[in-house]
Structure 1
Amino acid sequence: MPPTEAAPDARTRRHDPGRRDRIIEACIEVIAEDGVDGTSHRRVAAQAGVPLGSMTYHFTGRDELLREAFTRFATAMSERFAARLGQVEPGDREGGAQAVVDIILRDVFPDRRELVLTHELYTLAARDPAYRDLTNAWMRRSRAALERCFDPATARIVDALIEGMTIHRALDTQPHDDADVELAVRRITAA
């Protein structure tokens, strides 16, 4: 009988150090496509290209997976926000105002995916204090970035303006005028 290669032991796990991260990224994509209600371990595993058993190996349940995915999303959004404001010298109100205009026009909700993800997170936060903690951490990071250029009270107001204007611009069926954004930011940030 010719020598044959030994079959791999079925109990041996394949080393895949990036699997957990892929699952989290896949979860973000599934939420963007199907919403939180359409997000299941089966759908996420299929999106990530991992066995279904990997889901329970890496996460205690769907809620932990959702929190991890939304934490990653919120952190990425606040890092983009901070990066834009980080290009401005501390205390430069004019530069800060222009950065806020750019955030509204270019950085927040550049596509439908981020709009859906943000609103899915807001819906969870309205119902569940754990998600509210996540959105509050996101707001604190945003305000800290704004405080590079504005006093704390102005930073809070500007943060709310960014939120409101981006939502209105994303959901309004009428065309928007970018000059309105510039006007609103300048009025609020005027010394």
Structure 2
Amino acid sequence: MPTVSPESGSRRGRPNDPERRDRIIDACLEVIARVGVAGTSHRKVAAEAGVPLGAMTYYFAGMSDLLHASFTRFATTISDRFERRMATVDSEDAAKAAVIAIILDDVFGDNRELVLSHELCTLAARDPAYRSITSAWMRRSRAALEHHFDPETARMLDALIEGLTIHRALDAEARDPREVEEAVARITARPGSATRRSR
């Protein structure tokens, strides 16, 4: 796939529906959540968005352009939610509680978001053009955590948040929420894990 820019909008001209591009992106995410990237096509997205098939090429140079814009929106939405959660805390204990809440409640609010995350990671693993999205996502997560923890601890917590969330979502048996509390406690118990900003 060619390298594409996020949110590019491929064609010149004046759109007669300024919200159409956003609807197409939202529709693309819904289609991906149902059938995966491999099953997503311009025709399916156009039908989901309620737009003429020909409108797809007005806004996007091709499927790669559409996928990049759609996954950029998805990752940005998750990152915004993450940052809002971490911005509400003002102490180390509150920051630990926020991390626990992110794992138990926030990261993937439902199965749709879990599927979209896996589809993005699979795509990024195969095509470097999409790694800019996953890299930006991780940078924002670590930056939010670094307001309360040192950079190394923030990196560990970021990996824990994603990994443990996926484990909990995909395990056939219910997991004890206390394992999340224990994991966060162990990582943040490292000497120097808290930054001055949260003390």
Is TM > 0.5 for Structure 1 vs Structure 2? yes
Structure 1 residues 186 and 14: alpha-carbon distance in aligned structure 2, compared to 1, 3 A threshold: closer
Displacement after TM superposition at 1:45 (Å) = 0.3
Which is greater in Rg?
1
Return the alpha-carbon distance in structure 2 between the equivalents of residues 87 and 14 of structure 1.
Answer: 40
Return the alpha-carbon distance in structure 1 between the equivalents of residues 184 and 30 of structure 2.
Answer: 32
Q: Which runs of 5+ in 1 are unaligned?
A: 1-12
Q: CA RMSD in A?
A: 1.1
8 Å Cα contact 1:93/1:189 also seen in 2: no
* Counterpart position of 1:177: 176
* Counterpart position of 2:155: 156
Question: Comparing both chains, which one has the higher relative contact order based on Cα–Cα distances under 8 Å and sequence gaps of 6 or more?
Answer: 2
Return the alpha-carbon distance in structure 2 between the equivalents of residues 52 and 174 of structure 1.
Answer: 43
The superposition leaves residues 74-112 of structure 1 with CA deviations (integer Å, 9 ceiling, x where unpaired) of: 0000000001001012xx221111000000000012211
The letter for the 1-side match of 2:128 is P
* Counterpart position of 1:10: none
Displacement after TM superposition at 1:189 (Å) = 1.1
* Counterpart position of 1:30: 31
Return the alpha-carbon distance in structure 1 between the equivalents of residues 117 and 137 of structure 2.
Answer: 11
Count of aligned residue pairs for this structure pair:
177
1:74 aligns with 2:75: yes
Return the alpha-carbon distance in structure 2 between the equivalents of residues 93 and 67 of structure 1.
Answer: 36
Return the alpha-carbon distance in structure 2 between the equivalents of residues 176 and 93 of structure 1.
Answer: 26
8 Å Cα contact 1:22/1:48 also seen in 2: yes
Q: Which runs of 5+ in 2 are unaligned?
A: 1-13, 192-199
Return the alpha-carbon distance in structure 2 between the equivalents of residues 111 and 152 of structure 1.
Answer: 29
Return the alpha-carbon distance in structure 2 between the equivalents of residues 14 and 160 of structure 1.
Answer: 42
Q: 4+ runs of 1 displaced by more than 6 Å?
A: none
Return the alpha-carbon distance in structure 2 between the equivalents of residues 55 and 15 of structure 1.
Answer: 14
* Counterpart position of 1:3: none
* Counterpart position of 1:83: 84
The letter for the 1-side match of 2:167 is H
Displacement after TM superposition at 1:169 (Å) = 0.3
8 Å Cα contact 1:125/1:131 also seen in 2: yes
Displacement after TM superposition at 1:14 (Å) = 7.8
Secondary structure in structure 2 of the residue aligned to 1:148: coil
* Counterpart position of 1:43: 44
Secondary structure in structure 1 of the residue aligned to 2:17: coil
* Counterpart position of 2:123: 124
Secondary structure in structure 1 of the residue aligned to 2:131: helix
The letter for the 1-side match of 2:137 is W
Return the alpha-carbon distance in structure 2 between the equivalents of residues 88 and 14 of structure 1.
Answer: 43
